[in-house]
Amino acid sequence: MKYAKNILETIGNTPLVKLNKLTQEVDALVLAKIETFNPGNSVKDRMAVKMIEDAEADGRLKPGGTIIEGTSGNTGMGLALCAIVKGYKLICVISDKQSKEKCDILRAVGAKVVVCPTDVEPTDPRSYYSVSKRLADETENSWYVNQYDNPSNAIAHYEQTGPEIWEQTDGKITHFVVGVGTGGTISGIGKFLKEKNPNIKIWGVDTYGSVFKKYHETGIFDENEIYSYITEGIGEDILPKNVDFSIIDGFTKVTDKDAAVYTRKIALEEGIFVGNSAGSAIKGLLQLKEHFKPTDVVVVLFHDSGSRYIGKMFNDDWMRERGFLDEEITKAEDLIKEHIDKPLVVVRTEELVSHAIERMRKHKISQIPVIDINGFVGSIDESNLFDTYLSDNNIADKPIKEVMGKPYPIVKKGASIEEVSKLINKENQAVLVDLGDNMHHIITKYDIIGAIK
């Protein structure tokens, strides 16, 4: 019989798969190490087990103990599987920018999840670094993992992932490209590969908003480089001990939009359903294509599974809200896509100006169409209210019909964006779109500005 004694024995030996469509512009063989095949669906299973086993071996983790870690989800999943098999409790401290799916998955495998704000300094008592440390101090028989500075993290990749890649490529690998968070993956694999062949180039993929690239190039830890970003799993506002800058040849930074767009492309063009840092990694690899020649063997590592991002990078509304969908905006109906689910705010001729003002404040809008039983008969916008106010500062109690301007022009939903733009000018702040069935919606100059790329 051939079976694993428990789930932990199935970790590792993940496949290396040639990329075909996505990397057509790259003149080299590009292979992806797909870590989704681990039982916790990420590369982090490897280092989670290693960190626990090393802590057991030297007595930091004792029987029945509580494991505490600040984790963006994947390390938590690996720790959870290991905690179940070995009989430990687990508390995961997670920042609020991580996807909801990641928290739910951690709870599903028995972890207690504590959520902390992302936008605070690492030294702030509310940060997930500080909260993890405090919980570790307060909880009896507990062990704080600290994947950032725990050497077992990189060692796991030095012992397993590095040798796997070396064997799978028959020692022919020339470049390794990977996203960097704690640094465990790049440093462990990079060290092993460079020991085998010092000519192998190790490239880190970083995010905008993270300190790595600049620190590697200049030795300066520049706080101006730090701001919040959307990409998950990579980039840091600290320098983890697991990042061994000496074995990294260079970093390239990938934008949040590119990372999200390329996460989708990997699924659509290669049939490989992987997570957000894989999108960054492959886009980073494409940015580096000038460094590769036809005989090169370039390996990229995909850290985790796409299923953890279905509410984000794989969700059209989430992508659209962030301007990450390059949808062609050519018609009036394209311009109202983002607010079509909200009712059109109107005001009636017999209502008072105060009603219109209240509605403008509530909905944060600057113009409102005016209706009576015959349909659209006028308009109210900030500029006519302002002009009227200059001559009469009691306008709040006046009926709308006394201060309203001309009704907005109505266009068909298939009208071109040029046609709509021409109708919006100083005198006329908006256009109404006829959606059929007596339904209308409004296009303002802000919708047109929003459509300009």
Q: Point out which residues bind ligand PMP (CB under 6 A).
A: 72, 74, 179-186, 232-234, 275, 277, 303-304
Please give the residue whose beta carbon sits closest to ligand PMP in the complex. Answer: 233
CB atoms within 10 A of CB 217: 11
Give bridge partners of residue 381 from the DSSP assignment.
Answer: 367
The nearer residue to ligand PMP, 152 or 367, going by C-beta atoms, is 152
Output the smallest distance, CB 86 to ligand PMP, in A. 22
Which residue is catalytic, options 2, 18, 21, 44?
A: 44
Three-state secondary structure call for residue 202? strand
What's the min distance (Å) between Cβ of 63 and ligand PMP? Answer: 28
CA atoms within 13 A on the CB side of 22: 28
Q: What is the closest distance, in whole angstroms, from the C-beta atom of residue 97 to ligand PMP in the complex?
A: 13
Please classify residue 328 by burial: count the beta carbons closer than 10 Å to its beta carbon, then call 0-12 exposed, 13-18 middle and 19+ buried: exposed
Name which of 99 and 384 has its Cβ closer to ligand PMP. 99
Q: How far is the CB of 35 from ligand PMP (least distance, A)?
A: 9
CA 160 remoteness from chain centre: 28
Output 169 or 280, the one with its CB closest to ligand PMP: 280
DSSP labels for 25-54? TSSSEEEEEEGGGSTTSBTHHHHHHHHHHH
The dihedral region occupied by 438, where left means phi > 0, alpha psi between -120 and 50, and beta the remainder, is left
Query: Cβ closer to ligand PMP: 234 or 368?
Result: 234
Nearest distance from residue 148's CB to ligand PMP, in Å? 8
Rounded to whole angstroms, the Cα distance separating 95 from 114 reads 8
Query: Among residues 181 and 209, whose Cβ is nearest to ligand PMP?
Result: 181
Nearer to ligand PMP, 164 or 447 (CB): 164
Pairwise CA distance, residues 82 & 65, whole Å: 13
Is 112 annotated in the active site? no
Closest CB to ligand PMP among 210 and 379? 210
CB of 152 to ligand PMP, least distance (A): 12
Q: Helix, strand or coil for residue 211?
A: coil
Closest distance of CB 220 from ligand PMP, Å: 21
Per DSSP, the residues of 327-355 read: ----BHHHHTGGGTTSPPP-EETTSBHHH
What whole-number distance in Å separates Cα of residue 30 and Cα of residue 32? 7
Looking at the chain, the number of H-run helices and the number of E-run strands are 17, 16
Going by the DSSP 8-state scheme, the letter that residue 408 receives in this structure is: P
In the complex, what is the shortest distance from the CB of residue 387 to ligand PMP, in angstroms, rounded to a whole number?
A: 55
Q: Which is nearer to ligand PMP, 233 or 369 (CB)?
A: 233
Name the packing angle between helices 74-86 and 100-108 (round to 10°).
0
> Using CA atoms, how far apart are residues 368 and 384, in angstroms rounded to an integer?
11
Contact predicate 312/345, CB 8 Å: no
Asked whether the beta carbons of 46 and 11 are under 8 A apart, the reply is: yes
What residues are labeled active site? 44
